[in-house]
Amino acid sequence: MKTNKILLDHGSGGKISHSLITDIMLPIFDNPILSQLNDGAIFDVEGKRLAFSTDTYVVDPIFFPGGNIGDLAINGTVNDIAMCGATPLYLSVGLVIEEGFSLDDLEEILKSMSIAAEKACVKVVTGDTKVVPTGVADKIFINTSGIGLIPESVDIASHKARPGDKIILSGSIGDHGITVLTQREGMTFDSSVISDSAPLNHMVNGMLCVCNEIHVLRDPTRGGVGTALNEIANKSNAGIRIYEEKIPVKDEVAGICELLGFDPLYIANEGKLLAFVDPDRAGDVLAAVKDDEFGKDACIIGEVISEHPRKVFMQTRIGGTRIVDMLTGEQLPRIC
């Protein structure tokens, strides 16, 4: 049953989002830089390699434990640029504000954007503000775009995973998605889990200092670790095996997922990265990740295999094996 309307699933980051991008958007804007479909575009300008990325933030609620829409918008674009192996430098900020929005809230959001930018060592250098009538937007939407410089020896892209590569995950999964979910209207969880929203560019810098042969970097945001691994397996034409017992999930996140029938592998993260690294260098890179304030719980969760190209497998705790598929649309809470 096809549809001729945009549904929420088209924005879920799963298979339905992918088909929107590959079937409709790519053919219209077709060019070799876009078609790489990395977290950011990578291209040369007068001998320098640049990474350029954009993202729009519509999170509801706009304030949540661990952050707000403002610092999320800064960290998100900083991370997209960092995942290209680039040092993020300059950002733009576009605001779409609903008529009647509180000036105090706006100021709080802008201040936290400023603090986040300072922490990530990036500068907001241009911006735009639009106000729309009540009901046309939901409180505030933020777009950020950013540009960064890629060091000469770095060559990171999602198609570069190789059999044997170890997969490093920088910490526990699902914290951001579950935090936002529990703050939504209608959710009455008394939860102390907080969003992991954080800039990862300093962590990436530390990793590249010990090893410039990182093959793939990815921040598993919307769609979670499960979707990110599937994208990498597809683009690299390789198989991936991960181990359930190695993947850190906070007790609270696991508990809420159990109740709602969600799989934490598909829950959004905003301050975590996945790195695919040559097995001989994985120990050094892991140590560098752990040295960063946002990577204390990092661990190796699996490896790239030559069998079963384009599939992601998980060895379960009890020794079974299952496929980790890409999510189709948004996860919906189950009935029983």
Partner 1 sequence: MTIKHIEEYRDPDTSRKIIDRIQNISKSKIRIMEVCGTHTMSIFRSGIRALLPNTISLLSGPGCPVCVTAQNEIDAFIELSRVDDVIIATFGDILRVPGTQSTLQKEKGYGGDIRVVYSTFDALDIARRNPGKRIVFLGVGFETTAPTIAASIISANEMGLDNFFVFSAHKLVPPALEALLETDNVRIDGFILPGHVSVIIGTKAYTPLFEKYKIPGAVAGFEPIDILQAVSLLIEQIESGHPRLENAYIRAVTFDGNKKAQKIMHDVFETVDINWRGMGTIPKSGLKIRKGYAAFDAQREFDILVPYSKDPKGCACGEILTGMKIPPECILYKKICTPMDPVGPCMVSSEGTCAAYYRYHS
Q: Which residues bind partner 1 (CB under 8 A)?
A: 1-3, 5-9, 15-16, 19, 185-191, 245, 251-252, 254-256, 258, 260-261, 263, 311, 313-323, 325, 328-329, 331-336
Is residue 72 within 8 Å of residue 270, measured between CB atoms?
Answer: yes
- Give the 3-state secondary structure of residue 143: strand
- The strand order across the sheet containing 239-243 reads 214-218, 274-277, 166-169, 299-305, 239-243, 312-315, 321-323
Residue nearer to partner 1 on the CB measure, 5 or 104: 5
Residue nearer to partner 1 on the CB measure, 46 or 245: 245
Q: Which of 220, 88, 77, 79 is nearest to 151 (CA)?
A: 88
Residue nearer to partner 1 on the CB measure, 33 or 187: 187
Residue nearer to partner 1 on the CB measure, 206 or 255: 255
Helices (H), the chain: 15-19, 26-29, 69-82, 103-120, 175-183, 201-210, 224-236, 251-260, 282-291
CB of 15: closest distance to partner 1 in angstroms? 5
CB of 41: closest distance to partner 1 in angstroms? 27
CB of 120: closest distance to partner 1 in angstroms? 33
Residue nearer to partner 1 on the CB measure, 169 or 257: 257
Which helix H or strand E contains 51, and what residues bound it? strand 48-57
CB of 141: closest distance to partner 1 in angstroms? 20
Residue nearer to partner 1 on the CB measure, 122 or 265: 265
CB of 307: closest distance to partner 1 in angstroms? 11
SS (H, E, C) 146-192: EEEEECCCCCCCCCCCCCCCEEEECCCCCHHHHHHHHHCCCCCCCCC
CB of 259: closest distance to partner 1 in angstroms? 9
